[in-house]
Copies of this chain bind each other. A is one copy, B any other.
Amino acid sequence: MKKNTPGIPEYRLIEKLFGQVLQQLRKECGVSQEELGFESGYHRTYISQLERGKKSPSLQTIFQLAKALKVEPSQIVERIQTLVAPRSK
């Protein structure tokens, strides 16, 4: 069922794009990985792994991070969708 994008399997793609969006939002907030970790209740190392697409966030994690970044969780997902869309055409 899993479609491949050249070079990168889709399940890794979503994680990669989540990482990009997380980093963007964190920078827009002007906070460090450490500060975001503190605000969201996660370790800085985990934030770093998420930003590099090395870990897959659970829905709960997305809600926690969104709260710390003062955005709606759906906004994070929307940003990922806009990045996925051009690739799946």
Contact = CB atoms under 8 A, between A and B. Distances in A.
B18 A59 contact: yes
A57 to B, nearest CB: 5
Contacts of A59: 14-15, 18, 56-59, 62, 77, 80
Interface string A49-64: 0000000111110111
Interface of A: 1-2, 11, 14-15, 18, 39-41, 56-60, 62-64, 72-75, 77-78, 80-81, 84
Given A2-B41, A15-B59, 10 more contacts: A1-B40, A14-B60, A14-B63, A15-B60, A56-B58, A56-B59, A59-B59, A59-B77, A74-B75, A74-B78
